[in-house]
Copies of this chain bind each other. A is one copy, B any other.
Amino acid sequence: MTTNKSGRVTQREIAKIAGVSQATVSMVLNDRDYSNVRIPEATRARVLRAIEQTTYVADPAARRLAGLDNKILGIFTYEPALSAESMDFYGPLLNGIERAAERLSCDLLFFTASPLVDGSRSLFHKNTRFRLADGCLLLGQQMNGAELARLVAEGFPFVAVGRRDEPDVPYVGLDYLSLTGRIIRRLDELGHERAVYLHHGTIAPAAADRRSGIAQAASGLRLAVTSIDVSGLDRTAIARRVLDADVTAVITEDSFLAEAAAAAVRDAAPAAHFSYVALADVAGHFIGTAPLSGFDLRREAVASRALSLLQDIILTDPSDRDDLQKQVLLIGELVDGATLVEVRR
């Protein structure tokens, strides 16, 4: 077995062994007939035998440069995704992504080299490798709208995980609006007349959807919801704001905030009792020993669907991509839990 200077076997050497041209090797490998050409079975067999002898594998960089898909999907996360702290958010997403990638026989390129600027990564930088991927999945709480717009302008295939407001951005998100509405109506049914909504004051689309969901649903009900931005407040201040609000229910933007608020309130007023509801995935979250009430967002399904959509975009001819349904909202489910209870009179 001959090798070139880099120690790798190339099509040229396969061709020499099999006594054919390098182009023929390529055609056999791709199992394709160009311009009505058919390779005779005997030739094909000789080539395949040579390939087996030499343990040849095609160079993906060359394939890519020659214009072929590489079956590599990029995964861009705006924060580190594999740390213990981020597993709560990213774990189910990554799980869904891996399963979808296996199903599609795609490899995954994680852009961990992207420099951190203010704790958030940047997709476009000097040596970005994102173009090596056939397309890219974007994940994160704090996406950069300008980068999304640039990807749209360049026509690079990508899908954002989470609803976005920028025009023409493909995404797979969650229908926070209707889910939030359902839980607000549930609070009303259980007799709650006053509630607070604790949030972080962020402007992400999902955050806006939750606020809209509250406003839209509450407008037709007895229930009144007061919003409190907890950013910058310490636990004592949070507890005081909740207690001063004279409410029976505490709605929070995420599950950690529900746990933190409940702990703070318990310390400040052990006898007080509130219902707690998070407008977020509550799996694994508890108030004391009671499973927290809120949503099951089925993040595995969201991620899996996002990867499928990305693959669809990649495989669709650029001129036909406008016909694709590129903006998808999935429905999560309500989780009853044990912290959403009838109001005590």
Residues of A near any B CB (own CB < 8 A): 7-8, 55, 57-62, 64-65, 70-72, 80-84, 87, 91-92, 94-95, 97-99, 101-102, 105-113, 115-116, 124, 126-129, 131-132, 150, 154-155
With contact pairs A55-B150, A87-B91 given, residues A155 and B98 touching in the complex (Cβ less than 8 Å): no
Tell me if A129 and B91 are in contact (CB < 8 A): no
Tell me if B91 and A128 are in contact (CB < 8 A): no
With contact pairs A110-B110, A116-B102 given, residues A129 and B84 touching in the complex (Cβ less than 8 Å): no
Which chain B residue shows the least CB distance to A96? B82
In the bound complex, CA of A227 to CA of B58 (Å): 47
Question: CB-CB < 8 A to A101: which residues of B?
Answer: 110, 112-113
In the bound complex, CA of A148 to CA of B132 (Å): 27
| A-B contact list, 6 entries, CB within 8 Å | A8-B131, A8-B154, A55-B124, A83-B95, A102-B112, A106-B112
Question: CB-CB < 8 A to A113: which residues of B?
Answer: 71, 101-102, 105-107
User: A11: shortest Cβ distance to chain B, in Å?
Assistant: 14
Question: CB-CB < 8 A to A115: which residues of B?
Answer: 105
Question: CB-CB < 8 A to A91: which residues of B?
Answer: 82, 84, 87
Tell me if A70 and B129 are in contact (CB < 8 A): yes
Tell me if A59 and B65 are in contact (CB < 8 A): yes
In the bound complex, CA of A199 to CA of B125 (Å): 49
Which chain B residue shows the least CB distance to A103? B112
Question: CB-CB < 8 A to A154: which residues of B?
Answer: 7-8, 55
Which single member of B59, B71, B87, B129 contacts A60 (CB below 8 Å)?
A: B129
Tell me if B58 and A65 are in contact (CB < 8 A): no
In the bound complex, CA of A154 to CA of B150 (Å): 41
Question: CB-CB < 8 A to A112: which residues of B?
Answer: 98, 101-102, 106-108
Tell me if A129 and B155 are in contact (CB < 8 A): no
In the bound complex, CA of A55 to CA of B65 (Å): 20
User: A316: shortest Cβ distance to chain B, in Å?
Assistant: 15
Which single member of B84, B98, B127 contacts A95 (CB below 8 Å)?
A: B84
Question: CB-CB < 8 A to A99: which residues of B?
Answer: 80, 83
